[in-house]
Amino acid sequence: MNFWQTLPRPFFTVAPMADVTDAAFRRMIAKYSKGGRQAEPAASQPYVMWTEFVAADGLVKATPEGKKKLLADLIYSEQERPIVAQLFTSNPAHMGYAAALCRELGFDGVDINMGCPDRSIERQGCGAAMIKTPEVAHEVIKAAKRGAKMGERDGIPVSVKTRLGYNEDILEEWLPFLLAEEPAAVTIHARTRKEMSKVPARWERIARAVEIRDDMGSQALIIGNGDVLSQMDGRAKAKLSHADGVMVGRALFGNPWFFNEGRQLPTRLTALPTHGVNRDTIVTEDTEDRSVEYVTIEERLRVLLEHSQLFVELLPHKSFAVMKKHYKAYVSGFPDAAELRAQLMACDTPTEVKEIVHDFLATHA
């Protein structure tokens, strides 16, 4: 039995997002969402973490220095478990090697990226481009399962993250192909590659994916992804689609408390991603729940400082500019937020950030 089979349904998962859900942010989520899990409602726990996607080709062919940087993207803490390493390559041999490495590193699972729309990834025949080359996808999945020793006593499960199709929705052909390879789980971003995130996620297609899975008698779990803006919204989408799990992406920005039902951001402070979202498919809390302890602006900024410091400690090889996309989310929805955000965007070190935040708090006490 692998960890996927032990999860209560529906469960939440953290999306693999490049330069977002890195080791530093995952630890923030683990601390502020998962730290008090024994006292939290079962509906919000447990959840599964994904790493950023990592190039299997690089793990095989990179220089020692290059490989060291890639391995830094695979660091994790015990508090993040269950933790899944996401890999991409169109080379089966490289996938087998990388999956075996992730098993040796102690990951709970390996996930294959077959949905990323990034052009540089697609030029390598990876990410969403694999939807167009099912024969390659077939070999890559088999290699991952061999490297991960899926099904063996010391093995770990292999899953796939993908989309409805490339230019067109081909779920009825693409999903059965994937399920025939017997992955432990399939996460489906409910849009095509062509649609990116410009149209609302079609959760009725996640429901269709569950039907296809059931008709095939597959044991794979189906995880829906797209436009999940709150826990309530995620649970509603899971109920609508009968998905086993729900993946959360953009709504995590600036909100490491997302999975903590006892500690939440007030709606007015939440930088919710609404572009391209069908508001009729979203369920959010219209009024603030008096039983919930709401995160203050001061605490939000304190956590921003903690996140900044952790980033430079854990990921010194990365540009500090990566943190600025988080600042856009942490600093929003309150008086003078735009002015503070502009100052933070000009910072290059956590020391500068600390000085500016402390000055802001001193003048807004």
Q: What is the pLDDT of residue 35?
A: 52
Average pLDDT over residues 238-262: 93
In a domain, 284, yes or no: no
- Model pTM? 0.91
Q: Are residues 185 and 247 in the same domain?
A: yes
Distance from C-alpha of 122 to C-alpha of 129, rounded to nearest angstrom? 5
Task: Convert the pLDDT of each residue in 293-327 to its tens digit.
Answer: 889 999 999 999 999 999 999 999 899 999 999 99
Task: Scan for tokens 């890999």, then name that residue.
Answer: 87
In a domain, 274, yes or no: yes
Poorest-pLDDT segment among 92-106, 141-155, 255-269: 255-269
Q: What angle do CA 171, 228, 241 make, to 5 degrees?
A: 45
Task: Convert the pLDDT of each residue in 170-229 to its tens digit.
Answer: 999 999 999 999 999 999 999 999 999 889 999 999 999 999 999 999 999 999 999 999
Task: Convert the pLDDT of each residue in 255-271 to its tens digit.
Answer: 999 988 788 887 554 54
- Average pLDDT value over all residues in the chain: 90
In a domain, 12, yes or no: yes
Q: Are residues 257 and 318 in the same domain?
A: no
CA distances from 339 to 269, 279, 301, 332, 345 (A): 16, 30, 14, 10, 10
Q: What is the pLDDT of residue 40?
A: 42
Q: Are residues 196 and 327 in the same domain?
A: no
Domain end marker among 250, 278, 306: 278
In a domain, 124, yes or no: yes
Q: Are residues 301 and 272 in the same domain?
A: no
Q: Are residues 116 and 212 in the same domain?
A: yes
User: Is pLDDT of 275 > 60?
Assistant: no
Q: At what angle do helices 203-216 and 231-241 cross, to 10 degrees?
A: 50
Q: What is the pLDDT of residue 289?
A: 52
Residues involved in catalysis = 116
Q: Are residues 88 and 219 in the same domain?
A: yes
Q: At what angle do helices 203-216 and 171-180 cross, to 10 degrees?
A: 40
- Closest alpha carbon to 316 in 98, 84, 73: 73
As a whole-number percent, the residues of the chain with pLDDT over 90 amount to 79
Average pLDDT over residues 126-131: 97
CA distances from 73 to 137, 190, 296 (A): 24, 27, 31
What's phi and psi for 114, nearest 5 deg? Answer: -125, 35
The CATH code of the domain that includes 254 is 3.20.20.70
Average pLDDT over residues 155-177: 98
Q: What is the pLDDT of residue 262?
A: 80
Question: How many domains, the chain?
Answer: 2
Whether 84 contacts 107, CB under 8 Å: yes
In a domain, 68, yes or no: yes
In a domain, 209, yes or no: yes
End-to-end C-alpha distance for the chain, whole angstroms: 53
Q: Are residues 121 and 34 in the same domain?
A: yes
Domain end marker among 245, 278, 311: 278
Residue 268, Cβ density class (10 Å: 0-12 exposed, 13-18 middle, ≥19 buried): exposed
Q: What is the pLDDT of residue 43?
A: 40
Q: Are residues 206 and 327 in the same domain?
A: no
As a whole-number percent, the residues of the chain with pLDDT over 70 amount to 90
What's phi and psi for 48, nearest 5 deg? Answer: -110, 135
Domain end marker among 278, 310, 342: 278
Q: Are residues 320 and 215 in the same domain?
A: no
Q: Which domain holds residue 8?
A: 3-278
Q: What is the pLDDT of residue 306?
A: 97
